[in-house]
Structure 1
Amino acid sequence: MHVAVAARLAGRPLRVSTARRTGLLLALPAMAVFALLFVAPLFTLVLNSFRTAQGGFTLANYVRFLGDPFYRDVLVHTLLIGAVTTLGCLLIGYPFALYLRGRSPRVRNYLSLVLLSPLLISMVIRAYGWLVVLGPNGPVAAVFRGVGLEPPAMLYNDVAVVIGMLHVMLAYMVLPLVAALDRIDPTLVPAARGLGASGWSCFWRITVPLSVAGMVAGSLIVFSLTVSSFVTPAILGGPTVKLMPYFVYTEATVNLDWPYAAAIGFILVVVTTALMAGYAALLRKRAGALS
């Protein structure tokens, strides 16, 4: 008997090692695609950002960006648009996700189709559609005139950009939230209510902490996609709203200054990644304090 136990214990590291090797082999194709489509382009971007037009090494591209107040303001403005869009998607998407959670499969399918419908339309067509809706002769202006008010300027400003981004980014917030809410044990809230907890207390101490993973995932997706978006801000923001992707495009295709465009892009990547990591840590800490 002791011999059999010893044989099992002796064979366990071998089985664990084999399982690890098998898992690594299964993950190799995905790792190769990741390295080819993300790591290699990012490495090339970083390398080009330290080059001069003649191919030498320099820090001038970063000094030029960080030393210019105009470009720093553009960076802050880009991050602000991303934060406002993310917050708007969270405030709108969380109640919608809660509503979806309690609906029948048929109703959920219909509402999910409505939610995903903006993603089925070309971003250019979608942005030009908002030009019509928010234009001086569009339905929004007609509503203001109908109540006797002068319609405000709704195009070529931050408001138009945020509205356009909310329209398409909402789905990226709601889907992770729904997945997180579906994983919550449905008996927890009734049990808490049976012990005397109020509905508001159940929401803040049970639902919110247990759905933090969905909020983090949705917020990271929305924020990263918003700050790197080009088409929607270019169409709805016009010449007055300049964000970081616009300058990357301009430097690369108009001025043909690829090293400076790479530096702008890498700065945006670094700052965005740092902010998203801090946000995720803060949200998880907050959820731990609520639970």
Structure 2
Amino acid sequence: MKLETGSTINIKKKKKKKKIWDAWLLVIPTLAVFIFFFLIPLFFLFITSFKTFDASTGIGGEWTFQNYIKFISDPFYLGVLWRTVKIGLITTLVTIIISYPVAFQIAKAKGKVKNYLTLLVLSPLLISMVIRCYGWVILLSNNGVINSSLMKLGWIDQPLELLYSEFSVIVGMVHVLFPYMVLSIMGSLERIDTSVLRASQNLGASSLKTFTSVTLPLTLPGIFAGSVMVFSLSVSSFVTPSILGGPQVKVMSYITYEQVAVMLNWPYGGAIGFILIFIATITIVFYSKILSKSKKGVAIQ
């Protein structure tokens, strides 16, 4: 009997080890790509950010904190940092406001209608981001569709400065990142038990009260997940600010590109990039803390 028990335990252990090994076999290829093509280059760039730089000789061999001190002591670069974070926060807020009604209607829909609406929301992702941005250039330029229409209607006498502004960058960001927020909120809405909503209505709560007291709190995980994605992608975006903002609207990704690709100052460009990573991480952690302290918030474990 003891032998049988011991044999059974050994078989279970072998099966458990096999499952763990099988899981690692699936993870290792992706993990290897992530380490070799992302973490290792990022590590060397981080090391480079503490090196000196000379325009005539290139990257030096001495260690220094001057690249980071130069950034935090220069009002121009601090202004660029603030503009980047501000654009990210406004983009996130506007995306939430626009996406929630859309996600709510898609979650309520059924059958083919739901599939068609989901496909409609995802369809912009099938088009290149560059093409979408140039589409907004056609709409927002001085001779574009919007200004031409307003001038023909007699509502304005001269073109509005819509392009190459923070407004145009935010509009482009919202358009690009809108599907991510919709899908995140829609996932939370679909997981809500309809019996909870019916119970709220049976207890005399109005539709508005049910939404604010039941539906909205239960969808906070989706809102938070979407906010993290939208904010992270917006503050690190390069294509949209470059095309719709141009040199007039400098953001962190743009000046990082200038330092690395134009000035060939890799140490300072690396320092700017890691400051952006740090600020984005701090903002996300701060946002998470606010939600976790709220009675209706969701804490990340």
Q: Tell me the TM-score normalized by structure 2.
A: 0.86
How far does residue 9 in structure 1 lie from its aligned partner after superposition? 11
Partner of 1:148: 155
Partner of 1:227: 235
Secondary structure of 2:155's aligned partner: coil
Give the alignment of 1:231-246 within 5 angstroms: 231-246=239-254
How far does residue 60 in structure 1 lie from its aligned partner after superposition? 0.9
1:252 aligns with 2:242: no
How far does residue 113 in structure 1 lie from its aligned partner after superposition? 2.3
Percent identity of paired positions between Structure 1 and Structure 2: 43
Any conservation in 1 of the 2:200–2:210 contact (CA below 8 Å)? yes
Q: Deviations over 1:107-142 (max 9, x none)?
A: 222222222222222222221111111122322123
1:74 to 67, 73, 80: 80
Q: Deviations over 1:4-52 (max 9, x none)?
A: 9x97997799589646565455433443333233322321221111112
How far does residue 279 in structure 1 lie from its aligned partner after superposition? 1.1
Partner of 2:138: 132
1:279 aligns with 2:287: yes
Any conservation in 1 of the 2:220–2:297 contact (CA below 8 Å)? no
Q: What is the alpha-carbon distance in structure 2 between the residues aligned to residue 186 and residue 30 of structure 1?
A: 38
Distance of aligned partners of 1:16 and 1:193 in 2 relative to their CA distance in 1, 3 Å threshold: farther
Partner of 1:42: 42
How far does residue 147 in structure 1 lie from its aligned partner after superposition? 5.2
Give the number of equivalent residue pairs: 289
Give the alignment of 1:167-182 within 5 angstroms: 167-182=175-190
Partner of 2:33: 33
Secondary structure of 1:55's aligned partner: strand
The amino acid of 1:199's aligned partner reads: S
1:212 aligns with 2:214: no
The amino acid of 1:126's aligned partner reads: R
Any conservation in 1 of the 2:291–2:297 contact (CA below 8 Å)? no
Secondary structure of 1:288's aligned partner: coil
Give the alignment of 1:2-151 within 5 angstroms: 14=13, 18=17, 23-24=23-24, 26-52=26-52, 53-145=59-151, 146=153, 148-150=155-157, 151=159
Partner of 1:199: 207
Gaps of 5+ in 2: 53-58
Q: What is the alpha-carbon distance in structure 1 between the residues aligned to residue 267 and residue 43 of structure 2?
A: 13
Distance of aligned partners of 1:230 and 1:289 in 2 relative to their CA distance in 1, 3 Å threshold: closer
Which segment drifts farther, 6-15 or 137-146?
Answer: 6-15
Distance of aligned partners of 1:237 and 1:17 in 2 relative to their CA distance in 1, 3 Å threshold: same
How far does residue 56 in structure 1 lie from its aligned partner after superposition? 2.1
Partner of 1:267: 275
The amino acid of 2:108's aligned partner reads: G
Q: What is the alpha-carbon distance in structure 2 between the residues aligned to residue 129 and residue 91 of structure 1?
A: 23
Q: What is the alpha-carbon distance in structure 2 between the residues aligned to residue 284 and residue 144 of structure 1?
A: 46
Q: What is the alpha-carbon distance in structure 2 between the residues aligned to residue 12 and residue 96 of structure 1?
A: 52
> How big is the alpha-carbon RMSD for the aligned residues of Structure 1 and Structure 2?
2.6
Q: Tell me the TM-score normalized by structure 1.
A: 0.89
Partner of 2:56: none
Q: Deviations over 1:174-221 (max 9, x none)?
A: 111111111111221011111122222221222122112211111111
Any conservation in 2 of the 1:212–1:284 contact (CA below 8 Å)? no
Q: Hey, which bits of structure 1, 4+ residues long, moved more than 4 A?
A: 6-17, 19-26
Secondary structure of 2:205's aligned partner: coil
Any conservation in 2 of the 1:209–1:287 contact (CA below 8 Å)? no
